[in-house]
Chains A and B, each alone.
Chain A
Amino acid sequence: MKLIKSVVRPNKVDDVRDALEKINVPGMTVTEVRGHGRQKGHTAIYRGKEYNVSLLPKVEIEVVVQDAIVDDVIKAIITAARTGEIGDGRVFVLPAEHSYNIRTGEKDV
């Protein structure tokens, strides 16, 4: 089982969700986050003075999936979230040990 955390553009969240739905990923958790990568944000202008917006708003999507479909999920996320421009985001894959269903208390297999 793997935890796949992807940090994507806010306007790509729906595309990623649709792509994951198509390959039957059952659920996801979405968090509004801020961050920067190599580009270190961008500049804006306020009352004639430029300033650096260093931490840009992004959305983090977390899904936990079986090892067998990890590659499909990563491929789906990258295809859906990509624009080709700087700032498309990252995908991280972490091992997930267990997962429990809170309603039933059952351990997922």
Chain B
Amino acid sequence: MAWMKTVCNVLIRPKPLMRSLLLGVALAILGAVVVRPSLQAQAATPPAALNDPTGATTGTAKDVTVKDAANPTLPEVMETVGHNKIAINFVWVLMTGFLVMFMQAGFAMVETGFTRAKNVAHTMSMNFLIYPIGMLGYWICGFAMHMGGVGAVAALGGTAPLNHEFTIQLFGHPFGLFGLKGFFLSGDTYDVGVFALFLFQMVFMDTAGTIPTGAMAERWKLTAFIVFGFFMSMFAYPLYANWVWGGGWLAMLGQNFGLGHGHVDFAGSSVVHMVGGVAALAGAIVIGPRIGKYDKQGNPVAMPGHHIPMAIAGTFILCFGWFGFNPGSTLAGTDLRIAVVAVNTMLAGAAGAMTAMIYVWLKFGKPDPSMLANGMLAGLVAITAPCAFVTSVSAVIIGGIAGIIVVVAVLFIERTMKIDDPVGAVAVHGVNGLWGILALGLFADGTYGDGWNGVPGTVRGLFYGDAGQFFAEAIGGLTCFVFIFVSFFIFFKIVEMTMGNRVSAEAELEGLDMPEMGAMGYPDFVMTPGPGESHPDYVPRA
């Protein structure tokens, strides 16, 4: 009788696992009974359509919407062709925008890999938070100030609502300063073309926003960083970006003053990278070096990054994202120049990695992995402006020079200027951003860019006969440095005087994870102090 007792127990007082098993069996039986007749009903009528395993017969004339299939009219066909063209561009802009968005992960990993284990939760969180902070700030007013007066973007079907640029008259010419349409993406900017443009421009802004987190890592107070994020996304970036990409005065240097096509920056060597790098420079100067970075004699002390594999993986994520950054900047998948842009981009990154490796190897005896990463990123930053306008040979030269520049700049900033930039953000993005736009002014070969910024003819650099283009690039670079450096220096000084930029010395020595974030990045590991940590010789900067 014992077995009957067991069965009764199972049925009457089932244990949780038994209960769910029983329920499952009951449902399966019920399902079989109910579903079977309908399956049989379907089987009675075989499918009428043939499958198309090769893809040769999918997408034909019958997919074009016409009133009378026997007599399609030309306007009807043109309607579909036009819609398809813009649709291709939309998919292109959105897809490449998604790639650029993923670069946030690359930045987070590069910066965290190059910093110390006791600060990882904090460094990661800054790189994470710039995405939501930047996005909301850009949605509130950044996008409106940046693109609100750009006019119709033909590749996106004409973003007609973006039609209000605030302009002043100087020297008898109009100087566009900022846009005034698209606040909160509301009103008549509730438009598919405007939204596509917003997504693409927003992730670019965020790239600029995340660059200073590297230069100011391991000592930046999180609250101060949050204020910075809003300042960058709402005001600083949108202003300069408007001047170059939003139809502002730097873009008009060609039309107004005959300087080539005005300041041309294809994908943002100046607009994104130099803005981020120069803001990083101002921030690193105001916040001062990490405790222990310089000894009493002022000599820099090595503070090795805690996770080189993370940094290298992050570099590759950035490199991959750059296929969105540069080719996407055509804003048109139908502009087949994207092939040239993509190849130039990868070539310059490769050249930068190689020259940095060779230079560091010859100089220090070993090819430092952190400098390999910086070298590749430097090549990518430098080609960002000229990628659409140069030959592949020029792309390799531009990237190769960038790989040397970045090493020289890292050493100069650290040893001569005594500015502590843990990840080399100023050297990679600031210095090579400048090199990128100057390189466009030198190497643009006149095969592309007809009508750019409203100037007829293609874009030519100094080496191809247009000195004016080089001057326009130089003016754009100078403006970027002066405007961004001054505004961020003042911004960081105001923060310094009110809330403070920097965590306490105790928090910095302990690591920022607990004091700033309340959670350790690596709770299961014992941290051993590296060189420079809790350095007795630390002298705070005056």
Contact = CB atoms under 8 A, between A and B. Distances in A.
Interface stretch (A1-9, A42-50, A83-91): A42-50
Contacts of B410: 47-48
A52 to B, nearest CB: 7
A55 B368 contact: no
Interface string A23-66: 00000000000100000000011111111110100000000000
A15 B126 CA distance: 46
Interface in B268-308: 300-305
B534 to A, nearest CB: 14
A46 B528 contact: no
B365 interface: yes
Contacts of A50: 302
Given A34-B528, A46-B368, A51 B363 contact: no
Contacts, number: 42
A45 B364 contact: yes
A86 to B, nearest CB: 21
A96 B487 CA distance: 70
Nearest to B303: A46
B371 A47 contact: yes
Contacts of B528: 34, 55
- Mostly helix, strand, loop or mixed at chain A's interface? strand
A34 B530 CA distance: 13
A69 B202 CA distance: 73
Nearest to B532: A51
A51 B364 contact: no
- Mostly helix, strand, loop or mixed at chain B's interface? loop
A72 B364 CA distance: 47
Given A34-B528, A51-B531, A55-B528, A44 B363 contact: no
A51 B414 CA distance: 15
Contacts of A34: 528
B218 to A, nearest CB: 15
A52 B535 CA distance: 14
Contacts of B365: 45
B360 interface: yes
A49 to B, nearest CB: 4
B96 interface: no
Contacts of B370: 46-47
A30 B410 CA distance: 42
Interface residues of B, number: 22
B531 to A, nearest CB: 4
Nearest to A55: B528
Contacts of B305: 46
**Which of A48, A50, A52 has the most chain B CB within a 10 Å cutoff?**
A48
Interface string B339-383: 000000000000000000000100111101011000000000000
A103 to B, nearest CB: 28
A34 B528 CA distance: 9
B368 A48 contact: yes
B22 interface: no
A40 to B, nearest CB: 13
A46 B305 CA distance: 9
B411 interface: yes
A51 B300 CA distance: 10
Interface string A76-108: 000000000000000000000000000000000
Contact of A49 (B302, B366, B407, B424): B302
B366 A45 contact: yes
A51 B363 CA distance: 16
Contacts of B368: 45-48
Contacts of B304: 44, 46, 51
A34 B305 CA distance: 19
Interface string B389-418: 000000000000000000100110010000
A89 to B, nearest CB: 19
**Which of B300, B301, B363, B364 has the most chain A CB within a 10 Å cutoff?**
B364
Given A45-B366, A45-B368, A46-B368, A52 B411 contact: no
A37 B370 CA distance: 30
Contacts of B531: 51-53
A53 B531 CA distance: 8
Contacts of A47: 302, 368, 370-371, 410, 414, 424
Interface of B: 300-305, 360, 363-366, 368, 370-371, 407, 410-411, 414, 424, 528, 531-532
Given A34-B528, A45-B302, A46-B303, 6 more contacts: A44-B304, A46-B305, A47-B414, A48-B407, A50-B302, A51-B302
4 tightest A-B contacts by CB?
A49-B302, A51-B302, A51-B531, A46-B302
29 contacts: A44-B302, A45-B364, A45-B365, A45-B366, A45-B368, A46-B303, A46-B304, A46-B305, A46-B370, A47-B302, A47-B370, A47-B371, A47-B410, A47-B414, A48-B363, A48-B364, A48-B368, A48-B371, A48-B411, A49-B301, A49-B302, A49-B414, A50-B302, A51-B301, A51-B302, A51-B531, A52-B531, A53-B531, A55-B528
